[in-house]
Amino acid sequence: MNDRMPVETRSIRDRSAVGRFPAVTLGFGDDSEEEKEELEVIYDEKENACRRWLRKVCPCCCPKPNNDDVTDTLMTGLDELDKDEGINGEKPETGASELDELLLKVRSIDLMKSKSGENRTEHHTDLYQSDDLIIRRGQNFQMWITLSRPFNPETDKLHLELKTGPQPTVSKGTHVIIPLVEDLEDEGWEAAVVKQDDKRIKLSVRSAPTAVIGRYQLIVETNTAHGQAVSTHDPANDIYMLFNPWCEDDSVFMDSEDERQEYVMNDIGRIYYGTQDQIGVRTWNYGQFDDGILAVCVFVLEKSGTPPSGWGDPVNVVRVISAMINSPDDRGVVQGDWSGDYSAGTSPHVWSGSVEILKEYHKNTGHPVKYGQCWVFAGVFTTVLRCLGIPSRTVTNYSSAHDTDVSLTTDVYLDENLEPIDHLNSDSIWNFHVWNDCWMARPDLPPGNGGWQAVDATPQETSQGTFRCGPASLAAVRNGQVYLKHDTPFVFAEVNSDKIYWQRNIDGTFSQIYSEKKTVGHYISTKAVGSDERNDITHLYKHPEGSEEERIAVETACSYGSKAEAYSSPTAEDVSIEVTMEGEGPTMGKDAELTIILRNSSSEERKLVLHSQVAVMYYTGVHKATVRKDKTDLDLLPNEEKNLEWTLEYQDYKDQLVDQAALMLTLSGRVKETQQVVATQFSFRLRTPQLDIKPIGKAVVGEKMAVEILFTNPLPQVLKAVIFHVEGLGLLTARKIHYGDIGSRASVSLTEHLVPTLPGPRKLLASLDCKQLTQVHGVTDIIVEEKSNGAL
């Protein structure tokens, strides 16, 4: 669509510079009523003299005045007119419209921004539900400019200007002047005329592969021998510039098309949770192409207060966004809450996508959305990164350590009786923790550290004074090179720290009594490329457990930590302890059953006292309440393996459960004969039921359909104030249904109506939340057909 472009004017008010032309200005909008009247008088009284004089000077430039042309322009070169005298030795008085005829003015700009057009499809931005021109840096795009007369490359000059940020500056890359050249070279900003059609010219414009990303304002400036014209900024012609994983010169370049389709273009994903023995999964709507989401992502960058001149570097951009996804420091997008009381907002378990969260943040002009936990931070982070063009994925680490004292070890402090000392145990091991990987070169690090980088938006520890984490190179994490930025020690500890048990001595000091080398960092998971399968990427974060390379990496890393002395001579270990679970493990509302296996690998009898305690835990590894303690005397025969059945009854835990229904069994004991300490901790969760979603009828764009949601309460108690949450990209915007109470072990059915808006394969997501039961969700696939036009 060719929108008529008004022209910005630059007024010349110094009348001495224009002789006796008091009415010649740069903008009719600036003229006073007196000036307009004076102009009319000049036209009425002097038109014949003017035209005669102009014909003498330039016969070809004196057509009949066109009083309909009100495009404002800047006149220069008027001093040339001052040199010539008019008839009878006087300078003639010339109207502005006649001088306008000498200029080259922009009538309209067509950015060819249709979703199905060449620009949007070639730049892989055709899925964005937006009418703006959205392009990727380092790649050509096309535009048509309609001028007031045919463009003459011999005498006419034209250039484009793009400006972004509050103080556009050429030296900082936020004010870009794009020259017109004959042929486009391979680097830098430039434009070339590729087609001319009377007064229209088609430009091919190339952007630099290092360009600042964000929203640019566009103006066109022309210069001729007779003056200059500058188009007025029209917000409809603003241009969104994104990172370009398809461009080899962009530092986010990714050479696999399958991976680009997954990590940039896929707007639905899978997020893993649970424990390493009971891996759960939920579907998440990233929705990076949804209407308005790109504008929100740029708003998030702007809200950070960081200078736009740094927005061309993905290392800097992901670090900024890592801080902006959480709310401390900068009133970012999501406010975290692990308390269990979410009455002042939305429970973290209810969200099933990022769109609703980002739009609420934008609508509330930057007030944090309540509430999120790690998978919410990570899901929103993936949306923003993919939207801006940085390849990214959501990653879950099981048995994820949270090192609070930069020791690069996870420390458990026990008293003289081997009981945990709660107030000292600030290091924790989360059942699972969700963060993000993003893909980019790392020119700021030694060679070999590019590729996947870990970033984390969950506010756990500060980095340079701000709650953010990363980007930490996975190669650096794998090799224990914790001195390479950013935040590599913290990520290393999450995936590969040793768990060290310390016992308090009589004098108050602590001695290391036991270490577990394989407890942290298991089944690091992300959605597979091109399928809904789980892809285990543990090998990218660490060498195989127990291998020489892995031990070297751990000891290298810990030599930079605050407890380097922890690596001392190994203790005698002829008694071992292990906890196992049958199948997928216990379910919510039933007794939990585990097996404790003790092995005596010596040829002598071993006696020990085994202490056990089971506690309800937040999934973050934070202790909520101990629900049972036991002490058992055990005799182990030479080379014996003894299995102990361990049961936790529903009655013991039902009133203590918190989000994620996580429990931890801690076992510790000392072998009487050798003084060897055996200890382990085993986390498990109580599995929750799924929601069953059944589409009813045919799914057609623009036609009403229904879905039935089925649920059975697994608990022998009433669920109070149940909320269902339903959403689906292209199916329906997120909505909450306040259902009410659901009876003990009761089954319910709920029917929701919706009108699909987009064709193709779609996913409908639903979740259930209430105080007694969380982490209940379901998903169904719906194939939406195009609306048929019917018989002609």
Answer whether 775's CB lies under 8 Å from 659's CB. yes
Give the separation between CA 698 and CA 783, rounded to whole angstroms: 9
Burial class (CB in 10 A: 0-12, 13-18, 19+), 159: middle
**3-class SS of residue 556:** helix
Burial class (CB in 10 A: 0-12, 13-18, 19+), 197: exposed
Pairing of strands 157-163, 214-224: antiparallel
Cα–chain center distance at 605? 58
- Identify the active-site residue in 124, 250, 362, 374: 374
The DSSP call for residue 687 is: B
**3-class SS of residue 135:** strand
Pairing of strands 369-372, 334-336: parallel
Answer whether 326's CB lies under 8 Å from 377's CB. yes
- Identify the active-site residue in 349, 402, 433, 486: 433
Tell me, what amino acid is at 579? V
433 is catalytic: yes
Answer whether 72's CB lies under 8 Å from 29's CB. yes
Closest CA to 620 of 444, 375, 382: 375
Contacts for 440 with CB less than 8 Å, ≥ 6 apart: 251, 252, 314, 315, 318, 390, 450, 453, 471
456 is catalytic: yes
Look up tokens 């149940």; give the residue: 722
Give the separation between CA 164 and CA 309, rounded to whole angstroms: 9
Answer whether 226's CB lies under 8 Å from 61's CB. no
84 is catalytic: no
Answer whether 396's CB lies under 8 Å from 433's CB. yes
Contacts for 50 with CB less than 8 Å, ≥ 6 apart: 92, 93, 94, 95, 98
The half-sphere exposure of 663 on its side-chain side, counting CA atoms within 13 A, is 30
CB atoms within 10 A of CB 702: 10
Tell me, what amino acid is at 652? D
- The tokens of 541 are what? 């974060």
Give the separation between CA 595 and CA 609, rounded to whole angstroms: 17
**3-class SS of residue 632:** strand
- Identify the active-site residue in 100, 250, 277, 456: 456
Contacts for 268 with CB less than 8 Å, ≥ 6 apart: 283, 284, 285, 286, 729, 763
- Which residues are known to be catalytic? 374, 433, 456
